[in-house]
Every structure is written in C-alpha cells, then in structure tokens.
C-alpha cells in the first residue's frame, strides 16, 4: 500500500464545499474506474495547525507505484468528462505540497528481517 499525501491551499475565491464536491467528482471517478483504492479529504479543525500546514489534507491510497502511474496517465488521455472533473477541482487549488508514503516496515523488509 502506498499513500499519496497532498497538503492543499485553495485560491482566495474558491469555496471549501465546492472544492470538496469537485474532489469527490474527480477522485470518485478514479476510484470507480479502479485507478485508486481509496481517498479522503480532511480540513484543519478550528484552524489549528503548525506553521506550514495547509488548510486541506488529501490522502490517496494506491496498491503500488504502477497503480499511481496509471492514475496520473488518466489525467491526460482522451476522456473529456474525466478531464473536466479534474480541471474543475484543480482550478480551485492555489498551492499544494505532496509526499508519497508506504507502510513501514513494508512486507519486503519484514521478510528480510525474519531471515536474519
């Protein structure tokens, strides 16, 4: 399992609920097509957070890097309805910061440790 983690700030004119609906349209479509396993959008509660933490946190779960690559490929290929959903959501984002995480220790490391 890999977790693609995005911290997001919206454009000043964008509305939080409109962004949430657009994210649901985009990531829901990716999940329905089997391009991602799951996703969730969270927002800072009561504005609490350390400096550098964005207002929104988006987590996208994929099985492996091949699944993540296929999801990225879906953005640019042929499906106008899917591209519209992406453009609608992405147009509301002012800044984003991303990271890719994995379970730790991962299965491969567990096997190596067991052999030692």
pLDDT (tens digit per residue) in 34-49: 999 999 999 998 877 7
Predicted model pTM: 0.84
Question: What is the domain range of residue 34?
Answer: 2-115
Check: CB of residue 65 under 8 Å from CB of residue 43.
Answer: no
Give me the CATH number covering residue 75.
Answer: 3.30.70.100
Rounded to 5°, angle at Cα 19 from 15 and 25: 150
Tokens of 116: 């030692």
Would you place residue 113 in the very low, low, confident or very high pLDDT band (cuts 50, 70, 90)? low
pLDDT at 116 over 60: no
Tokens 């959008």 -> residue: 41
Tokens of 108: 């491969």
Number of domains in the chain: 1
Letter string b/e over residues 61-77, b meaning 16 or more CB atoms within 10 A of that residue's CB: bbeeeebbebbeebeee
């Amino acid at each position: 399992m890999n977790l693609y983690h995005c911290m997001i700030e919206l454009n000043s004119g964008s509305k939080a609920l409109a962004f949430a609906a657009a994210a649901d349209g985009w990531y829901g479509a990716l999940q329905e097509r089997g391009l991602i396993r799951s996703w969730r959008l969270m927002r800072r509660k009561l504005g609490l957070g350390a400096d550098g933490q964005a207002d929104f946190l988006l987590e996208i779960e994929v099985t492996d890097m091949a699944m993540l690559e296929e999801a990225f490929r879906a953005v640019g290929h042929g499906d106008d309805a899917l591209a519209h959903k992406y453009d609608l959501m992405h147009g509301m984002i002012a800044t984003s910061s991303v990271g890719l995480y994995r379970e730790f220790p991962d299965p491969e490391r567990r096997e190596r440790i067991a052999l030692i």
